[in-house]
Structure 1
Amino acid sequence: MSNPYFEMIVLIERLHRRFLDIVRIELNKLGIRDINAPQALMLANIGDSEILVRDLVERGYYLGQNVNYSIRKLVEYGYLTQERDEHDKRAVRVSLTEKGRELVPEIRKIDHLEHVAASDQPVEEEELEQIVTTLRKVERCWAEYVQFRPYV
C-alpha cells in the first residue's frame, strides 16, 4: 500500500534534482562552465536584492557550509560582491555584480513549456498553479509544526 505523503516528499526531492539537471543543461547551452546549477539558482534567488548570507540560510534555501563555499566561488568568478554589514560586522551582505545580473534573466526564463512540449505527458499551466497552491499549504503546515512544537 502506498503512502501519498511520503511519496510526495520523495517526488519533491527527485524533482529538485531533475530541475538542477535542466539548469545544468541550460548553463551549458549558454557556455557557462564556471558555476554549477545550485549556484545559478542561488543567484536567481538573490536577484536584485542585497541580502545577508544568514537570511539565505534561515529561509531554508541552503545549508550553511554550502552557502559559504558557493558564495566564495561566486565572488571569485565575478557573479557576486560581498561586504560586511555596517551594523553587524559579523554579518556579510551579498549582491549581484553586472555579470550576475546578466545571467539571472537567463536562469529565470527557463520555461517549463519548452520541456513540456518535448514530453508525452504535458503539464498545463492550471495544473502547475494547483500544485504550487498545494505545496504552499504543505510548507505552511511544516513551518507551523517546526515553529510551535517543542522538541522532545
Structure 2
Amino acid sequence: MTVQTLRRSALKIDTADIGIGASAETVRSGYLELTSMLDRLHRRYLDVVRVELESMGINNINPSQALMLVGIGDEDIPVRDLIHRKGYQASTVSYNVKKLSEYGYLEQERAAHDRRSVRLRLSPKGRDIVTRLRDLEARHMEFSNGRSELLRGMENATSTLRQLDQIWAEYITFG
C-alpha cells in the first residue's frame, strides 16, 4: 500500500466525527501538512547528523547508521530487539550491522546457546560517536531552556504525534 493510498484512506473524515467545529477540509489540510512536515523534519535531522559526522571526520557511515548506534546506546542488545523494539526493518538492520561491524563501530557476539542469535554492543569507536551525538542533542535542547512556550509546544507536538502513531498502528493492525 502506498503512502498516497494511506493518506487518502486516513483523510476520509466525517465532519460529525471532528466535534470541534473544524471543517473536514481544515482537518484534511492539517493532516497533510503534518505528514509532510514529519518527512521534512526527518530528512532535516539526518542532515544535522550528517553535518556532525562530517565535523568529526567520519565519512564511512551515514546518518541512519549513526542513529542506529544511538539506538543501541549502552545496551548489549540482540539483533531481533533492534527490529522489534527499535522499529528497524530486518533487511536494513542486516546491512547496517554488517557495515557498522566492518568499520569497527559495533561488536557482535553469537549466543552460546543459540548460534543464530547475535547480540550487539558498541565498540569504543561506536561509543565515541554516540557520545558526540548525545552532546549535539544536549546543545540543541539548550535552545528550549527557559522558553516555556517552546517547551509547551514540544509537549503538545509529542502528544499529537503519539496519537497519530496509535491511529496508524491501529490502521496497520486492523485495516
- TM-score by structure 1 length? 0.80
5+ long unaligned stretches in structure 1: 117-122
What residue in structure 2 maps to residue 120 of structure 1? Answer: none
**Cα distance in 2, alignment partners of residues 60 and 95 from structure 1:** 15
1:18 aligned residue: 44
Mapping 1:1-152, distance limit 5 Å? 2-59=28-85, 61-111=87-137, 112=140, 124-147=150-173, 149=174
**CA distance in 2: counterparts of 1:101 and 1:93, whole angstroms:** 16
Q: What is the number of equivalent residue pairs in this alignment?
A: 143
Q: Match for 2:101: what amino acid?
A: V
> Which consecutive residues of structure 2, in runs of 5 or more, have no partner in the other structure?
1-24
Q: Which has the higher helix share?
A: 2
Task: Report the residue type matching 2:172 in the other structure.
Answer: V
Deviation at 1:113, TM superposition (A): 5.3
State the TM-score, normalized to the length of structure 2: 0.71
1:126 to 1:53, Cα distance in 2 relative to 1, 3 A = same
Runs (4 or more) in structure 1 with deviation over 4 Å come to 113-116
- Percentage of matched positions with identical amino acids: 45
Q: Give the whole-Å Cα distance in 1 for the aligned partners of 2:143 and 2:91.
A: 32
Q: Rate the CA distance shift 1:102–1:142 in 2: closer, same or farther, 3 A.
A: same
Residue 4 of structure 1, CA deviation: 2.0
Taking only aligned residues, the RMSD between alpha carbons, in angstroms, comes to 2.3
